[in-house]
Chains A and B, each alone.
Chain A
């Protein structure tokens, strides 16, 4: 699921920016990597920042109702959600 697609690349860069992961940690994220609840930096403000940046950088609109806990459980889930939104 992590596939070096444009969405994958943008999403890693975005998480690196918001969570201060650094390039190495961002590049090491796999589909199973835990996000919310696993990375201490990933609090509710970070979630909000990630959503707004996803809209800006991926050119999508995200509705509140589309967001559930599962999306932020793993990197793979977040990427799959982003791919779905981009291909619309």
Chain B
């Protein structure tokens, strides 16, 4: 099944295509608007910017419980393979866990996060909701249950395979890579992916676009 892709491109032939691998789960919603503003800025700078839906995320018709990190990794590679011309892979947070497979001129990662940290937050939200409902629950109990059956975590139905892969997933080495965080030494702004209520940050979007454009030059894109 083909997933939707949001593509914002300049009128002329793009210098390269920036393939954006979005954060995972709720973090994708919290960052989408700012990422799309960054995509517009990239297009003004002569890049095509492509934001695909991962299967089971956003507008995808695939049930989330049917996918895992391996499938997302393949999906990202397949999207990249369909792109004409040079590709810069730009991943955000958990997107960095599935961004290593494409052939690309370079990689750019914003605040990459380990899968175990994402999983821990999801598990905690479930424990907290269970306890509010008067159900005895711990992360250990949930891990045990997840060995044999899908688990609903903060609205995400995750398969045993997905949970097992998340627990161990780290961003894989890629070359050439620019990995950047937030704050004084990185992108100015606030970590919108943590925000309980979605926000947007135009200045942060501009900083993201400028940093990707500068890095792509280092990777040989003119």
Chain A residues close to B by CB (< 8 Å): 16-20, 41-49, 51-53, 56, 64-65
Q: What's the dominant secondary structure at chain B's contact region?
A: helix
Minimum CB–CB distance from A14 to chain B (whole Å) comes to 8
Question: From residue 108 to 143 of chain B, which have CB atoms closer than 8 A to chain A?
Answer: 117, 120-125, 127-129, 132, 138-140
Please state if B117 and A64 are interface contacts (CB–CB under 8 Å). Answer: no
Minimum CB–CB distance from B186 to chain A (whole Å) comes to 14
Q: How far is the CA of A48 from the CA of B127 in the complex (A)?
A: 9
Minimum CB–CB distance from A18 to chain B (whole Å) comes to 5
Residues in A whose Cβ lies below 8 Å from that of B132? 44
Minimum CB–CB distance from A9 to chain B (whole Å) comes to 13
Residues in B whose Cβ lies below 8 Å from that of A47? 124-125, 128
Q: Is B184 interfacial (CB 8 A cutoff)?
A: no
Please state if B26 and A17 are interface contacts (CB–CB under 8 Å). Answer: no
Q: What's the dominant secondary structure at chain A's contact region?
A: helix
Q: A41-B196, A45-B196 are in contact. List 16 more A-B contacts (CB 8 A).
A: A16-B190, A17-B190, A17-B195, A18-B194, A20-B190, A20-B197, A46-B196, A47-B128, A48-B121, A48-B123, A49-B194, A51-B124, A52-B121, A52-B124, A53-B194, A64-B139
Minimum CB–CB distance from A52 to chain B (whole Å) comes to 4
